[in-house]
Structure 1
Amino acid sequence: MDEVDRAIVAVLEQEGRISNSELAARVGLSPSPCLRRVRQLEETGVIRGYRAVVDPAAVGRGLRVFAGVRLARHVRADVAAFESAVMQLAEVRACHHITGSFDYLLHVEVADLAAYEDFHASQLASLPGVATVNSFVIMKTLDNP
């Protein structure tokens, strides 16, 4: 990646729906070479996709929680079973394998506290290999522009 590729990526991170001609103008290229570079960035996996950023509350997921999960054992089979099962849960928006006090940090979105209580009791705590779950309710998120 050169500086032009980095500029393309920076613009697309902020404005994924920008037209190719506008993108080209912003990074100092003509449209054809700009489009070739974007396609190359997509093909090599630098750009992994495009998506809408949705307000969770507007779609019935107003409560966001980080859940720290510790596994009982760290053998490959238990880890694989947990990872496979957790990624099947629609409420889990992201699952991060981390270091520190927890093995995984989950980003969970549900309608409200009652929905989280039900999710925690009926699904999360009963995932394969789970020893403990610590929940942290997100009160406010500050995003970088």
Structure 2
Amino acid sequence: MLDRIDVALLRMLRKNARLPNKTLAEKTGVAPSTALERIRRLHESRTIQGYHAEVAPAAIGIGLQAMVAVRLARHSRPMVDGFLDHLQGLREVLAFYHLAGADDFLVHVGVRDSAHLREFALTAFTEREEVAHIQTHLIFDFHRNTELPVYLQSPDLQSPG
């Protein structure tokens, strides 16, 4: 079970995963060895699943991003699993979500331009037999929320505000 120290460490790492252990310890009021051990346990328990670098899309040639809503023709485990494997193999796919509701997947893609998006949508989605329908939404701007909502029972663990 997480306590207030664990949650404080997670909140700080969510905002800046490159904070030195000394800073994490100071801001949580624990010894550096304690902070290091707690972060190690958060990794071992898979509470912390990894770190990533936020890269400016334009710096790597992504000129256009879109969310593609995908509706499958049928819903069988082999079809869903096959489509998941397909998505994981596409370099244009930045993230994807398996959904409940009218659409089955929401796929965040990054491409060079509108011609690249058109070609990608045709080959990655519409040419696949399990796909019944797609709808593409262009993304004008993207911002990641670095705040960490916490919905645990203890009042001292709740998100501030």
With normalisation by structure 1, the TM-score equals: 0.95
Q: Give the drift of 1:53.
A: 0.6
Contact 1:20 1:34 in 2 (8 A): yes
CA distance in 1, matches of 2:138, 2:74: 26
Name 2:82's counterpart in structure 1.
81
CA distance in 1, matches of 2:78, 2:142: 35
CA distance in 2, matches of 1:33, 1:55: 35
Mapping of 1:24-39 within 5 angstroms? 24-39=25-40
Structure 2: gaps spanning 5 or more residues = 147-161
Name 1:54's counterpart in structure 2.
55
CA distance in 1, matches of 2:93, 2:12: 28
Structure 1 segments, 4+ long, off by >6 Å, are none
CA distance in 2, matches of 1:54, 1:128: 34
Q: Give the drift of 1:142.
A: 4.1
Q: Give the drift of 1:99.
A: 1.7
Name 1:123's counterpart in structure 2.
124
Q: Give the drift of 1:143.
A: 4.0
CA distance in 1, matches of 2:143, 2:51: 22
Q: Give the drift of 1:62.
A: 2.0
How many residue pairs are counted as aligned between the two chains? 145
Per-residue CA deviation, residues 10-32 of structure 1 (Å, 9 max, x unaligned), is 00000100100011101111100
Mapping of 1:81-120 within 5 angstroms? 81-120=82-121
Secondary structure of 2:123's aligned partner: helix
Structure 1: gaps spanning 5 or more residues = none
CA distance in 2, matches of 1:94, 1:106: 6
Contact 1:78 1:128 in 2 (8 A): no
Q: Give the drift of 1:128.
A: 4.6
Name 2:16's counterpart in structure 1.
15
Q: Tell me the percent identity.
A: 37
Which residue identity does 1:134 align to in structure 2? Q
Q: Give the drift of 1:87.
A: 1.2
Secondary structure of 2:69's aligned partner: strand
